[in-house]
Amino acid sequence: MPTASPITAIVVAYDSAEVLPDCLSALAVEGIPAIVVDNASEDGSAEVARAHGATVIRNPRNEGYGRANNIGVAASHSPYVLIVNPDVEIRPGAGAKLLAAAGRYRDAGMLAPRIVEPSGRVFLQPRSLLSPPHLNRSGAMPIPEGDSCLPFLSGACLLIPRELFISLGGFDPRIFLFYEDDDLCRRMRDAGHALVHVHEAEAGHGRGRSSAPSPERRFKARWHLAWSEGYVAGKYGLRPPSIIRMFENAAKAVGYGLLFRREKMFAHAGSCAGGLAWRRGRSAISREGLEALP
Protein backbone atom coordinates (compact mmCIF):
# COMPACT_ATOMS: atom_id res chain seq x y z
CA MET A 1 0.00 0.00 0.00
CA PRO A 2 1.39 3.45 -0.85
CA THR A 3 2.64 5.38 2.16
CA ALA A 4 3.13 8.82 0.57
CA SER A 5 -0.49 9.90 0.96
CA PRO A 6 -1.28 11.92 4.11
CA ILE A 7 -4.70 10.21 4.17
CA THR A 8 -5.71 6.56 4.34
CA ALA A 9 -9.37 5.70 3.82
CA ILE A 10 -10.93 3.12 6.13
CA VAL A 11 -13.94 1.38 4.57
CA VAL A 12 -15.91 -1.18 6.58
CA ALA A 13 -17.68 -3.66 4.32
CA TYR A 14 -20.48 -6.06 5.14
CA ASP A 15 -21.95 -7.64 2.02
CA SER A 16 -21.11 -4.41 0.22
CA ALA A 17 -19.85 -5.80 -3.10
CA GLU A 18 -22.43 -3.84 -5.09
CA VAL A 19 -21.33 -0.40 -3.87
CA LEU A 20 -17.61 -0.90 -3.20
CA PRO A 21 -16.42 -0.38 -6.81
CA ASP A 22 -17.75 3.19 -7.00
CA CYS A 23 -16.53 4.03 -3.50
CA LEU A 24 -13.00 2.69 -4.07
CA SER A 25 -12.73 4.09 -7.60
CA ALA A 26 -13.56 7.58 -6.31
CA LEU A 27 -10.87 7.26 -3.63
CA ALA A 28 -8.33 6.05 -6.18
CA VAL A 29 -8.99 9.07 -8.40
CA GLU A 30 -8.13 11.25 -5.39
CA GLY A 31 -4.94 9.28 -4.76
CA ILE A 32 -6.21 8.08 -1.38
CA PRO A 33 -5.22 4.48 -0.55
CA ALA A 34 -7.92 2.40 1.11
CA ILE A 35 -8.00 -0.27 3.77
CA VAL A 36 -11.20 -2.30 3.51
CA VAL A 37 -12.11 -4.11 6.72
CA ASP A 38 -14.43 -6.91 5.68
CA ASN A 39 -16.88 -8.00 8.37
CA ALA A 40 -17.24 -11.63 7.25
CA SER A 41 -19.12 -10.76 4.07
CA GLU A 42 -20.65 -13.57 2.05
CA ASP A 43 -20.99 -11.73 -1.27
CA GLY A 44 -17.36 -11.45 -2.36
CA SER A 45 -16.77 -7.97 -0.92
CA ALA A 46 -13.17 -8.80 -0.03
CA GLU A 47 -12.40 -9.98 -3.57
CA VAL A 48 -14.04 -6.88 -5.06
CA ALA A 49 -11.96 -4.67 -2.76
CA ARG A 50 -8.70 -6.39 -3.74
CA ALA A 51 -9.58 -6.10 -7.42
CA HIS A 52 -9.86 -2.34 -6.92
CA GLY A 53 -6.45 -2.06 -5.26
CA ALA A 54 -7.48 -1.86 -1.62
CA THR A 55 -5.64 -3.47 1.24
CA VAL A 56 -8.09 -5.95 2.78
CA ILE A 57 -8.42 -7.11 6.37
CA ARG A 58 -10.88 -9.99 6.69
CA ASN A 59 -12.56 -10.43 10.04
CA PRO A 60 -13.66 -14.01 10.75
CA ARG A 61 -16.83 -12.59 12.34
CA ASN A 62 -18.83 -9.41 11.94
CA GLU A 63 -17.14 -7.09 14.45
CA GLY A 64 -19.62 -4.27 14.02
CA TYR A 65 -19.04 -0.87 12.48
CA GLY A 66 -17.00 0.93 15.13
CA ARG A 67 -14.81 -1.99 16.14
CA ALA A 68 -14.00 -2.74 12.49
CA ASN A 69 -13.04 0.89 11.92
CA ASN A 70 -10.75 0.71 14.95
CA ILE A 71 -9.04 -2.32 13.39
CA GLY A 72 -8.55 -0.44 10.13
CA VAL A 73 -7.17 2.69 11.78
CA ALA A 74 -4.71 0.59 13.81
CA ALA A 75 -3.41 -0.89 10.54
CA SER A 76 -2.92 2.52 8.90
CA HIS A 77 0.18 4.72 9.07
CA SER A 78 -0.81 8.07 7.56
CA PRO A 79 -1.31 11.27 9.61
CA TYR A 80 -5.02 11.31 8.78
CA VAL A 81 -7.67 8.66 8.33
CA LEU A 82 -10.83 9.10 6.28
CA ILE A 83 -13.69 7.03 7.67
CA VAL A 84 -15.87 6.25 4.64
CA ASN A 85 -19.05 4.22 4.34
CA PRO A 86 -18.97 1.85 1.35
CA ASP A 87 -21.99 3.59 -0.19
CA VAL A 88 -20.20 6.95 -0.18
CA GLU A 89 -18.40 8.38 -3.21
CA ILE A 90 -16.17 11.36 -2.57
CA ARG A 91 -16.32 13.96 -5.31
CA PRO A 92 -13.24 15.26 -7.17
CA GLY A 93 -11.03 17.37 -4.94
CA ALA A 94 -12.83 16.45 -1.72
CA GLY A 95 -9.79 14.81 -0.12
CA ALA A 96 -7.53 17.79 -0.80
CA LYS A 97 -10.19 20.24 0.41
CA LEU A 98 -10.68 18.35 3.68
CA LEU A 99 -6.92 18.22 4.20
CA ALA A 100 -6.58 21.94 3.49
CA ALA A 101 -9.35 22.68 5.98
CA ALA A 102 -7.55 20.59 8.61
CA GLY A 103 -4.56 22.88 8.08
CA ARG A 104 -6.71 26.00 8.49
CA TYR A 105 -8.62 24.83 11.55
CA ARG A 106 -5.96 23.55 13.90
CA ASP A 107 -8.44 22.80 16.69
CA ALA A 108 -10.54 20.54 14.47
CA GLY A 109 -10.89 16.98 15.72
CA MET A 110 -13.07 15.83 12.83
CA LEU A 111 -13.93 17.31 9.47
CA ALA A 112 -16.78 16.22 7.21
CA PRO A 113 -17.64 17.09 3.62
CA ARG A 114 -21.00 18.28 2.41
CA ILE A 115 -22.90 15.02 2.05
CA VAL A 116 -25.39 14.93 -0.82
CA GLU A 117 -28.06 12.23 -1.11
CA PRO A 118 -29.33 10.85 -4.47
CA SER A 119 -32.30 13.24 -4.32
CA GLY A 120 -29.92 16.21 -4.13
CA ARG A 121 -30.74 16.81 -0.47
CA VAL A 122 -27.79 17.85 1.68
CA PHE A 123 -27.70 15.64 4.75
CA LEU A 124 -26.93 17.22 8.10
CA GLN A 125 -27.43 15.72 11.53
CA PRO A 126 -29.43 18.40 13.35
CA ARG A 127 -30.24 16.52 16.53
CA SER A 128 -28.82 13.78 18.75
CA LEU A 129 -29.62 12.08 22.01
CA LEU A 130 -26.18 13.29 23.15
CA SER A 131 -26.72 16.93 22.18
CA PRO A 132 -27.59 19.63 24.74
CA PRO A 133 -31.36 20.26 24.78
CA HIS A 134 -31.05 23.78 23.38
CA LEU A 135 -29.48 22.36 20.21
CA ASN A 136 -32.21 19.75 19.68
CA ARG A 137 -34.58 22.14 17.96
CA SER A 138 -37.37 20.78 15.82
CA GLY A 139 -37.27 21.24 12.07
CA ALA A 140 -34.50 20.99 9.53
CA MET A 141 -31.09 22.49 10.19
CA PRO A 142 -30.25 25.39 7.83
CA ILE A 143 -27.65 24.36 5.28
CA PRO A 144 -24.37 26.22 5.99
CA GLU A 145 -23.21 28.53 3.23
CA GLY A 146 -19.58 27.97 4.14
CA ASP A 147 -17.39 26.11 6.59
CA SER A 148 -19.13 25.75 9.95
CA CYS A 149 -18.62 24.25 13.39
CA LEU A 150 -21.46 21.82 14.11
CA PRO A 151 -22.42 19.90 17.26
CA PHE A 152 -22.37 16.57 15.40
CA LEU A 153 -21.10 15.21 12.10
CA SER A 154 -22.31 12.17 10.18
CA GLY A 155 -20.11 9.10 10.49
CA ALA A 156 -20.62 8.41 6.76
CA CYS A 157 -17.47 10.37 5.86
CA LEU A 158 -15.04 11.84 8.40
CA LEU A 159 -11.44 13.04 8.21
CA ILE A 160 -9.71 12.56 11.58
CA PRO A 161 -6.09 12.95 12.72
CA ARG A 162 -5.02 9.36 13.29
CA GLU A 163 -3.19 9.89 16.56
CA LEU A 164 -6.09 11.89 18.01
CA PHE A 165 -8.52 9.13 17.09
CA ILE A 166 -6.31 6.56 18.82
CA SER A 167 -5.71 8.77 21.89
CA LEU A 168 -9.47 9.04 22.44
CA GLY A 169 -9.88 5.27 22.19
CA GLY A 170 -11.45 5.32 18.72
CA PHE A 171 -15.06 4.28 18.42
CA ASP A 172 -16.46 2.82 21.63
CA PRO A 173 -15.81 -0.93 21.25
CA ARG A 174 -18.84 -1.80 23.38
CA ILE A 175 -21.15 -0.47 20.67
CA PHE A 176 -21.76 -2.92 17.84
CA LEU A 177 -23.87 -0.60 15.69
CA PHE A 178 -25.50 2.86 15.94
CA TYR A 179 -24.57 5.92 18.01
CA GLU A 180 -20.85 5.17 17.69
CA ASP A 181 -20.35 8.33 15.63
CA ASP A 182 -22.48 10.46 17.98
CA ASP A 183 -20.48 9.13 20.91
CA LEU A 184 -17.16 9.94 19.22
CA CYS A 185 -18.39 13.44 18.33
CA ARG A 186 -19.39 14.01 21.95
CA ARG A 187 -15.99 12.85 23.23
CA MET A 188 -14.21 15.01 20.66
CA ARG A 189 -16.14 18.08 21.78
CA ASP A 190 -15.65 17.26 25.46
CA ALA A 191 -11.89 17.06 24.78
CA GLY A 192 -11.94 20.57 23.30
CA HIS A 193 -11.85 19.76 19.58
CA ALA A 194 -14.07 21.37 16.96
CA LEU A 195 -16.26 19.44 14.52
CA VAL A 196 -16.03 21.17 11.15
CA HIS A 197 -18.38 20.95 8.16
CA VAL A 198 -16.25 21.72 5.07
CA HIS A 199 -18.70 23.12 2.57
CA GLU A 200 -16.55 23.01 -0.57
CA ALA A 201 -15.71 19.33 -0.11
CA GLU A 202 -18.51 17.09 -1.35
CA ALA A 203 -19.41 13.41 -1.13
CA GLY A 204 -22.37 11.49 -2.50
CA HIS A 205 -24.12 9.10 -0.12
CA GLY A 206 -26.45 6.30 -1.15
CA ARG A 207 -27.84 5.97 2.43
CA GLY A 208 -28.82 2.43 3.30
CA ARG A 209 -27.11 0.79 0.33
CA SER A 210 -24.09 -0.51 2.28
CA SER A 211 -25.56 -4.02 2.42
CA ALA A 212 -28.61 -5.82 1.08
CA PRO A 213 -31.76 -5.58 3.25
CA SER A 214 -33.74 -8.50 4.70
CA PRO A 215 -36.28 -8.91 7.53
CA GLU A 216 -33.62 -10.61 9.67
CA ARG A 217 -31.17 -7.77 9.14
CA ARG A 218 -33.92 -5.29 9.91
CA PHE A 219 -34.52 -7.06 13.23
CA LYS A 220 -30.80 -7.00 14.03
CA ALA A 221 -30.37 -3.36 13.10
CA ARG A 222 -33.34 -2.23 15.17
CA TRP A 223 -32.17 -4.41 18.09
CA HIS A 224 -28.84 -2.60 18.10
CA LEU A 225 -30.42 0.81 17.61
CA ALA A 226 -32.58 0.34 20.72
CA TRP A 227 -29.74 -1.18 22.73
CA SER A 228 -27.25 1.53 21.78
CA GLU A 229 -29.72 4.27 22.66
CA GLY A 230 -30.02 2.85 26.17
CA TYR A 231 -26.27 2.36 26.44
CA VAL A 232 -25.22 5.88 25.46
CA ALA A 233 -27.96 7.40 27.64
CA GLY A 234 -26.53 5.53 30.61
CA LYS A 235 -22.95 6.37 29.64
CA TYR A 236 -23.65 10.11 29.81
CA GLY A 237 -26.15 10.11 32.66
CA LEU A 238 -29.13 10.98 30.46
CA ARG A 239 -32.75 10.00 30.85
CA PRO A 240 -33.13 6.38 29.74
CA PRO A 241 -35.47 5.41 26.90
CA SER A 242 -39.07 5.10 28.05
CA ILE A 243 -40.25 1.60 28.89
CA ILE A 244 -43.56 2.58 27.32
CA ARG A 245 -41.84 2.69 23.93
CA MET A 246 -40.73 -0.91 24.39
CA PHE A 247 -44.33 -2.04 24.97
CA GLU A 248 -45.51 0.05 22.01
CA ASN A 249 -42.98 -1.69 19.76
CA ALA A 250 -44.12 -5.09 21.06
CA ALA A 251 -47.75 -4.24 20.27
CA LYS A 252 -46.82 -2.99 16.79
CA ALA A 253 -44.83 -6.16 16.11
CA VAL A 254 -47.88 -8.28 16.98
CA GLY A 255 -50.15 -6.08 14.88
CA TYR A 256 -47.94 -6.20 11.80
CA GLY A 257 -47.54 -9.94 12.28
CA LEU A 258 -51.31 -10.36 12.09
CA LEU A 259 -51.24 -8.35 8.87
CA PHE A 260 -48.42 -10.54 7.48
CA ARG A 261 -46.16 -7.52 7.04
CA ARG A 262 -42.85 -9.21 7.87
CA GLU A 263 -40.52 -6.22 7.36
CA LYS A 264 -42.37 -4.03 9.85
CA MET A 265 -43.02 -6.93 12.23
CA PHE A 266 -39.29 -7.74 12.38
CA ALA A 267 -38.36 -4.07 12.77
CA HIS A 268 -40.62 -3.43 15.76
CA ALA A 269 -39.80 -6.80 17.32
CA GLY A 270 -36.11 -5.91 17.08
CA SER A 271 -36.68 -2.56 18.77
CA CYS A 272 -38.57 -4.24 21.60
CA ALA A 273 -35.97 -6.99 22.05
CA GLY A 274 -33.05 -4.56 21.99
CA GLY A 275 -34.64 -2.28 24.57
CA LEU A 276 -35.43 -5.26 26.80
CA ALA A 277 -31.88 -6.62 26.47
CA TRP A 278 -30.42 -3.27 27.52
CA ARG A 279 -32.71 -3.09 30.56
CA ARG A 280 -31.62 -6.59 31.57
CA GLY A 281 -27.94 -5.64 31.34
CA ARG A 282 -27.09 -7.77 28.32
CA SER A 283 -24.26 -6.43 26.16
CA ALA A 284 -24.45 -5.93 22.42
CA ILE A 285 -21.05 -7.56 22.03
CA SER A 286 -22.09 -10.75 23.82
CA ARG A 287 -25.20 -10.95 21.62
CA GLU A 288 -22.93 -11.13 18.59
CA GLY A 289 -20.68 -13.76 20.18
CA LEU A 290 -17.68 -11.41 20.27
CA GLU A 291 -14.99 -11.19 22.88
CA ALA A 292 -16.15 -9.47 26.07
CA LEU A 293 -14.40 -6.30 27.21
CA PRO A 294 -13.19 -5.58 30.75
| pLDDT tens figures, 271-287 | 999 999 999 999 999 99
Q: What average pLDDT is seen over the chain? A: 91
Please say whether the beta carbons of 253 and 265 come within 8 A. Answer: yes
Is 70 exceeded by the pLDDT of residue 182? yes
**pLDDT of res. 4:** 76
pLDDT above 90: percentage of residues in the chain: 79
Please say whether the beta carbons of 6 and 35 come within 8 A. Answer: no
pTM over 0.85: yes
The C-alpha atoms of residue 1 and residue 9 are separated, in whole angstroms, by: 12
Q: 148-177 burial string, b = 16+ CB within 10 Å, else e?
A: eebbbbbbbbbbbbbebbeebebbbbbbbb
**Cβ-proximal residues to 69 (8 Å cutoff; 6+ apart), any chain:** 10, 12, 37, 83, 170, 171
Radius of gyration of the chain (CA): 19
Please say whether the beta carbons of 271 and 222 come within 8 A. Answer: yes
**pLDDT of res. 1:** 42
> Domains of the chain (ranges plus CATH)?
7-205 (3.90.550.10), 215-287 (no CATH)
Q: What are 184-225's pLDDT values in tens digits?
A: 999 999 999 999 999 999 999 985 555 566 888 899 999 999
Partners of 198 in the beta sheet? 113
Strand 108-116 to 122-123 pairing: antiparallel
The whole-number average pLDDT for the span 132-147 is 70
The C-alpha atoms of residue 157 and residue 114 are separated, in whole angstroms, by: 9
pLDDT above 70: percentage of residues in the chain: 91
Is 60 exceeded by the pLDDT of residue 60? yes
Q: What are 222-275's pLDDT values in tens digits?
A: 999 999 999 999 999 998 899 999 999 999 999 999 998 999 999 999 999 999
The lowest-confidence range among 98-112, 140-154, 187-201, 205-219 is 205-219
Please say whether the beta carbons of 78 and 69 come within 8 A. Answer: no
